[in-house]
Amino acid sequence: MTTPAEEQKFDFIRELIANDLTAKNLPQGVVTRFPPEPNGYLHIGHAKSICLNFGVAQEFDGRCHLRFDDTNPSKEDDEYVESIKKDIAWLGWDWGEHLHFASDYFETLYQYAVTLIGQGKAYVDDLTQEEIRAGRGTLTSPGEESPYRGRSVAENLDLFGKMRAGEFSEGARVLRAKIDMTSGNLNMRDPVLYRIVDAPHHRTGTEWRIYPMYDFGHGQSDSIEGITHSLCTMEFEDHRPLYDWVLDSLGLYHPQQIEFARLNISYTILSKRKLLQLVQDGHVSGWDDPRMPTISGLRRRGYPPEAIRNFCDKIGIAKRPNTVELALLEHSARDYLNQHASRVLGVLRPLKVIIDNYPEGQSEELEGINNPESPEAGTRMVPFSGELYIEQDDFMEDPPSKYNRLAPGREVRLRYGYFITCINADKDPVTGEVTAIHCAYDPETRGGQSPDGRKVRGTIHWVSAAHSLPAVVRLYETLFSEEHPDDADDFLTVLNEDSLKVITGCQVEASLKDASPGDNFQFERLGYFCMDEVDSKPGALVFNRTVPLRDTWSR
């Protein structure tokens, strides 16, 4: 991995951990965990948490667990488990032996709940979900105690056992902690610990009828695994007293929960629920649609894992919420790909160029530099002949004076190749549309220099008509037209209708026949592109534009 990991990272979490390592007895070293719920694909926000948890463990010579928080069977699926594992490994992180599932602890968690009941700190409540919600009170008014709060330990134990045995239907009863209905913290007003769910679990099948709530399962799972620092996002700050209360009540090993700000990105939605809706309603082609902010979408778009990790390093870790510019993510891709992507020539909207003075039937090979940023990338041979394609917009019949490209009587340089001068254009007699242009080349300018020191104003890209390969190219814009799509009443109303443009009839240079799906290229002057992992086939190449180039060498 070539992330600048050696650069010392510094933030309040790393500072706190460094202090704990000297002040506390942590014989096992630092142990963190990344705890996704397998109810969707990972997105770039998760990458922030992954890079923090795995990064901290690596820097402090500790370890990071991957723990699936699979406590809600109605929304979870193995497809998600597999995609999450694949994405984390692709980002370059390794959980080693420590792949865990909250469902591995269901029996232990159940026994913890029994212990709490025995202590008189939990009770079975027959109120409905709505009644419980209504009885919780508000920030300014206290909650009301449930009429079932006074049940005896014996009765609670009996009812909880029956909940487990499947004697009650979903929603009929819950287990609640008995804390304080007047607490200023709503999470402490007798929160629900267990509920009945009538859905098969992706790992335990129909063995369990009751499932722990996040607030009960999470801290106890952290404790079982010996997590030292449980890093989570700010919305759990108000849950920390409950996290602490349960662990302290049970007298268990007590990890430290620390909160940090979620990642938000402009023009982007990072809510699994909303992303799922985009997939289910067909607004995108799937979780891996290249417009999606998912790891699988970014991968298919052409983002290298290093670019994502560099981005996560750059944004840093803090408590204050903020929105990062999408441009920063794109910059990370450009920055990495500039160093690592081979340059190639491809024409998106071809215009035929006939070189009138080039010997008929002849062709030759010109040497192209694969990456000026990295000489070790070497060179390749690019076929040249008397019939080429250039971009339609690199020719104008009647150009303004500032136009530096081809026009009748004007001379330009072909990348790696000759100077050509435009003579005239062929037109469709009916529409008047230019169908081809005729040029003359200067054989003395091979390699792009003229022996008489003559200058040209522009350099354009091209491919040889007979040698190039047909391709489809997809250009993207942001998926949302608003900078803060979450602010809209309905985020679907701010979808950008122009987020995908499919360009057929493109022509790309011959060397791309050896490329593999997932390979990154810079199409000179057009941006960075990735051969599509799903749709590209030999003979029917498909490229996704990862990001445009900000600067082009032709200006």
- CB-based contacts of 306, cutoff 8 Å, min separation 6: 1, 2, 3, 92, 336
Nearer residue to ligand ATP within complex by CB, 52 or 390: 52
Q: How far is the CB of 110 from ligand ATP (least distance, A)?
A: 22
Active site residue 240: no
Residues that bind ligand ATP (CB under 6 A): 35-37, 39, 45-46, 48-49, 232-233, 262-263, 270, 272
> Parallel, antiparallel, or unpaired: how do β-strands 263-265 and 322-324 relate?
parallel
Q: How far is the CB of 376 from ligand ATP (least distance, A)?
A: 37
Q: How far is the CB of 355 from ligand ATP (least distance, A)?
A: 54
Q: How far is the CB of 71 from ligand ATP (least distance, A)?
A: 11
Three-state secondary structure call for residue 69:
coil
Instruction: Please measure the distance between the N-terminal and C-terminal CA atoms of the chain and give it in whole angstroms.
Output: 34
The values of phi and psi at residue 521, to 5°, are -140, 155
Q: How far is the CB of 517 from ligand ATP (least distance, A)?
A: 28
Nearer residue to ligand ATP within complex by CB, 102 or 232: 232
How many CA atoms does the CB half-sphere of 454 hold within 13 Å?
Answer: 16
The values of phi and psi at residue 382, to 5°, are -115, 120
The values of phi and psi at residue 205, to 5°, are 60, -125
Nearer residue to ligand ATP within complex by CB, 70 or 509: 70
Q: Indicate the length of the chain as a whole number.
A: 555
What does the CA dihedral 391, 395, 396, 402 come to, rounded to 10 degrees? 100
* 488/484 Cα distance (integer angstroms): 8
Three-state secondary structure call for residue 15:
helix
How many CA atoms does the CB half-sphere of 27 hold within 13 Å?
Answer: 0
Closest to 383 in 3D by CA, of 370, 362, 366: 366
> Parallel, antiparallel, or unpaired: how do β-strands 527-531 and 541-547 relate?
antiparallel
Catalytic residue among 14, 75, 86, 262: 262
Q: How far is the CB of 270 from ligand ATP (least distance, A)?
A: 4
- The 10 Å Cβ neighbour count of residue 312 is 23
The residue type found at 355 is I
Nearer residue to ligand ATP within complex by CB, 323 or 421: 323
Catalytic residue among 9, 14, 37, 457: 37
- Dihedral-angle region of residue 184 (phi above 0 means left; psi in -120 to 50 means alpha; beta otherwise): alpha
Nearer residue to ligand ATP within complex by CB, 295 or 347: 295
Q: How far is the CB of 315 from ligand ATP (least distance, A)?
A: 10
Q: How far is the CB of 482 from ligand ATP (least distance, A)?
A: 18
- DSSP structure class, residue 386: S
- DSSP structure class, residue 495: B
* 69/38 Cα distance (integer angstroms): 7
Place of tokens 């122009």: 498
Active site residue 272: yes
* 196/72 Cα distance (integer angstroms): 10
Nearer residue to ligand ATP within complex by CB, 263 or 531: 263
Active site residue 37: yes
How many CA atoms does the CB half-sphere of 376 hold within 13 Å?
Answer: 2
Nearer residue to ligand ATP within complex by CB, 49 or 156: 49
Catalytic residue among 178, 272, 343, 415: 272
482: Cα separation from own chain's centroid: 19
Nearer residue to ligand ATP within complex by CB, 162 or 262: 262
Q: Any idea which residues carry the catalytic annotation?
A: 37, 262, 272
